[in-house]
Amino acid sequence: MDKASPVLQVDGMCFGYPQRALFTDWCLSVRSGATLLQGGDSSGKTTLLRLLAGAVAAQQGHWVLRGVRVAPQAQAYRHQVFWQDPRSDALHALSARAWWAELAAQHAAWDAAALAAHVQGWGLQPHLDKALHQLSAGSQRKVLMAAALASGAALTLIDEPVAGLDQPSVRYLCQALAASAAQPGRAIVVAHYGTLPGVPWTEVVALPEPAE
């Protein structure tokens, strides 16, 4: 894929809640590399990730990921996406090892060597066979991000990556994001309130602050 061509193209997106419109006739081109969705609380960062993942349907608009439209090709679209909401408790009874084994069967570009590097980089080895609910919030976040970066998914979506992380873990995160973003044809979209040192952002998309 031409590096200048978008991995994901969003056109005419409209979405809102009864009390507030979030996106009106909104467009976005996501190229390979790392894209930062930057905004404060209630700016719609997580909602936008859910929309891009195909986990939430927009009221209007369409988007195409590597030639596949989110509708009516929803299943084929989602097969190219990695998204796991860190606020969900759906995985709490699983261990990291068991969940990762499921993901390896789902993602054709799953990279076991990358996963092993992330386990080492984030010091996850002692926690691999614990249920996720037994882990600290920071360790849970590391388990999710290790999977995201190892997935090889064309569109990888990561929400608030530094929550619960100490400084050494943040440093490793920045290194891992930079390495994953260098993979050809892969778009990594990170929702966060600020930039991260050492991450070569292809684009920074500033979401508007919510109206008072």
Q: What share of the chain is helix, strand, coil (3-state, %, to 5)?
A: 35, 25, 40
Q: Over the stretch 61-119, which tens digit does the pLDDT of each residue have? A: 999 999 999 888 899 999 999 999 999 999 999 999 999 999 999 999 999 999 999 99
- What's the CATH code of the domain at 88? 3.40.50.300
- On whether residue 2 sits in a domain, the answer given is no
Taking residues 129-157, report their average pLDDT. Answer: 97
Pairing verdict, β 33-38 and 187-192: parallel
Residues contacting 146, CB < 8 A, separation 6+ = 96, 100, 115, 118, 119, 122, 124
Q: Which residues pair with 13 in a beta bridge?
A: 26
Beta strands, E only, the chain: 8-17, 20-30, 33-38, 60-65, 68-69, 81-82, 155-159, 187-192, 201-206
Helices (H) and strands (E) in the chain, counts: 6, 9
Domain count across the chain: 1
Q: In this predicted model, which residue has the larger pLDDT, 115 or 212?
A: 115
pLDDT tens sequence across 10-41? 999 999 988 888 999 999 999 999 999 998 88
Which amino acid would we find at residue 176? A
Q: Is residue 185 part of a domain?
A: yes
Full domain range(s) for residue 117? 8-206
**Which pLDDT score is estimated for 3?**
59
Does residue 212 form part of some domain? no
Give the pair of three-digit tokens for residue 176.
Answer: 């891992």
pTM of the model: 0.95
